[in-house]
Amino acid sequence: MDMHINPTLLRGAVTPPPSKSMAHRLLISAALAEGTSVIRNVALSQDIEATLRCVEALGCSWERAEPVCIRIHGCGPIVPTDGGMPQFDCGESGSTLRFFIPIALAMAGSGAFTGRGRLMERPQAPYFDLFDEKGIVHFLQNGVLTVRGTLKSGEYRLPGDVSSQFFTGLLFALPLLEEDSVIVSSTEPESADYIAMTVEALRAAGIRVLSQPSQRRWTVPSGRFHSFDATVEPDWSQAAFWYAANVLGSTLWLEGLDPKSSQGDRVAAEYAARLSQPGDVEIDVSGCPDLVPPLAVMAAVRQGTARFTNAARLRLKESDRLKTTAAMLLALGGDTDEETDSLTIRGVSRLSGGVVDGAGDHRIVMAAAIAATRCTGPVTILGAEAVNKSYPSFFEDYSALGGDVHVV
């Protein structure tokens, strides 16, 4: 599906969709619990559907109680009795894949994982190094990652500068073991706020992790997950696109956001304020890499140069997001340079419009749509259906706010 957008500024009130990151975590916590949990305000994006498929692979079940409410019938720490290896279809969701790998080992002693797009190319070295140390078999063959072995209580040391998702996977799995465990980050953890989100979701299910960030250490108690009710808050990473529209001249009121949220991407509001002012600016995005596409759009039309640093992890997303963000801006008449682990953008007065390859990446598609509001000519986005991965109603919201968008 390709989208044609005639440039116009947006106006109105908008509530960002539910936090995909927190929804993953609450749904998994509910699946590991005994009894039935209710998770409200869940958007069934492709990534969330991937997590629900993996919940079923564990032997749990779920149902939609109403359009945005999911009822999870948890299976608790029950090991499947049929002797088969659970099969996990993770779609294109990196969170789903990395969260469920240690869970499968803790609950079933094995698991076979598949995915689509670039998912199975994403690095898993922190897990694999741990598995080698602890005698757990792992191999990737023909796009299928197989893990087999016994996850035991104890100390788990892994680097914090690859992805917080490895920490989250262990935080979910270790309470299922017989004794307490400890996770230690051997380097300063990037995206530490995502770990805090996991600790919050675990607390909802009765698992109380002792966090010691100054020591880069988390003590994980052995215990049973309990059923619970929770509501997923709006997503700050998606809100960033609407903040970008405001920086480019639209007038939007963002509703429902919690400025004290545990979501690290809440810094989008602060960065939008900085990029609304003229002058050169440098922003370290190591803790919020998903914000780079909307931040890049904010930087594209302003007085001054913006440089986004420590962004190498973006090369391992749905697309090489440093390359595709730069390509998107250049296609629309922006002025940018892509470096090894950074992006430099020199602001221009207006963008010209043009054709953007969405690159199969939801965040590139949304960034291009927001950039279109400040173009002098129309914008065509190829592969716009990629928004279904995280924000299926994005173009509906865009149109409701006055956007002139048409399927071509």
Catalytic sites, residue numbers: 290
Residue whose C-alpha is closest to residue 223's, from 251, 272, 254, 181: 181
DSSP letters of 353-372?
-EEEE-TT-HHHHHHHHHHG
Bridge partners of 38, per DSSP, are 71, 229
How far apart are the C-alpha atoms of 172 and 178, rounded to whole Å? 14
- Is the CB of residue 353 less than 8 Å from the CB of residue 372? yes
Tokens representing 16 are 């960002």
- Is the CB of residue 304 less than 8 Å from the CB of residue 343? no
C-beta atoms surrounding 282 within 10 Å: 11
Residue whose C-alpha is closest to residue 151's, from 124, 119, 186, 183: 183
- Is the CB of residue 23 less than 8 Å from the CB of residue 166? no
Q: How far is CA 24 from CA 57, 99, 263, in A?
A: 15, 9, 13
The beta strands (E) that lie in 20-166 are given as: 33-40, 61-66, 69-75, 87-89, 110-114, 137-141, 144-148, 155-158
Residue whose C-alpha is closest to residue 221's, from 209, 211, 212: 209
Phi, psi of 219 (to 5 degrees): -95, 125
Bridge partners of 335, per DSSP, are 346
The total number of residues written for the chain in this structure: 408
Bridge partners of 381, per DSSP, are 3, 356
**Antiparallel, parallel or unpaired: β 11-14 and 251-254:** parallel
Bridge partners of 395, per DSSP, are none
CB within 8 A of 378, min separation 6: which ones? 4, 5, 6, 7, 353, 372
The maximal CA–CA distance of the chain, rounded, in angstroms, is 64
- Is the CB of residue 246 less than 8 Å from the CB of residue 272? yes
